[in-house]
């Protein structure tokens, strides 16, 4: 829909094949040639930093950042965090922080963080943050914890950005 409205859209995904295919389909369906793919793997903080650096070099404008990637099960990332917590929260958190100055300079702008109503079952334990919980249903708990972190991030970012014309939202898809 953003492409149909004439926006320049950057699809940031870990799969070049799927990202390029999606960008091509959106260009064709929307008639907007300003839809491009850029590689971003949220399971690697190194990749997040590389993406942000490339984006800031190539793209002078940023008015809307939608943090929408998510996984529900997995192992441990190269950075030592649980895959769901890093992909669903830490990667997005770092990306947002790295792009925040650009969002401010292009204001009015907004950050949309796709969370989940599953955040209601989340529990953040500072002593084990980013490590998967143990026990029965641990994968689901890890997902819920990451979504609670999303909601808290959105809320804190909205508070910190008051008066800057950068607004922040957490949304439940569906």
Name the residues annotated as catalytic.
143
SS3 of the chain: the string is CCCCCCCCEEEEECCHHHHHHHHHHHHHHHCCCCEEEEECCCCCHHHHHHHHHHHHHHCCCCCEEEECCCCCCCCECCCCCEHHHHHHHHHHHHHHHHHHHHHHHCCCEEEEEECCHHHHHCCCCHHHCCCCCCCCCHHHHHHHHHHHHHHHHHHHHHHHCCCCCEEEEEECCC
Cα–Cα distance for residue pair 6/15, rounded to 1 Å: 25
């Amino acid at each position: 829909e953003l492409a149909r409205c004439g926006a320049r859209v950057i699809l940031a995904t870990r799969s070049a094949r799927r990202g390029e295919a999606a960008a091509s389909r959106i260009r064709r369906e929307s008639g907007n040639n300003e839809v491009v793919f850029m590689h971003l793997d949220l399971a690697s903080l190194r990749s997040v930093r590389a993406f942000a650096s490339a984006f800031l070099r190539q793209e002078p404008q940023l008015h809307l950042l939608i943090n929408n990637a998510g996984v529900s099960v997995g192992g441990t990332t190269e950075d030592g965090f649980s895959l769901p917590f890093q992909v669903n929260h830490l990667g997005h958190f770092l990306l947002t922080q790295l792009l925040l100055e650009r969002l401010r300079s292009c204001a009015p702008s907004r950050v949309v963080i796709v969370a989940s109503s599953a955040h209601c079952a989340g529990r953040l334990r500072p002593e084990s943050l980013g490590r998967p919980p143990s026990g029965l249903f641990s994968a689901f708990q890890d997902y819920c914890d990451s979504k609670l972190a999303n909601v808290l991030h959105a809320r804190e970012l909205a508070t910190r950005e008051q008066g800057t014309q950068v607004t922040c939202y957490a949304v439940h898809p569906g």
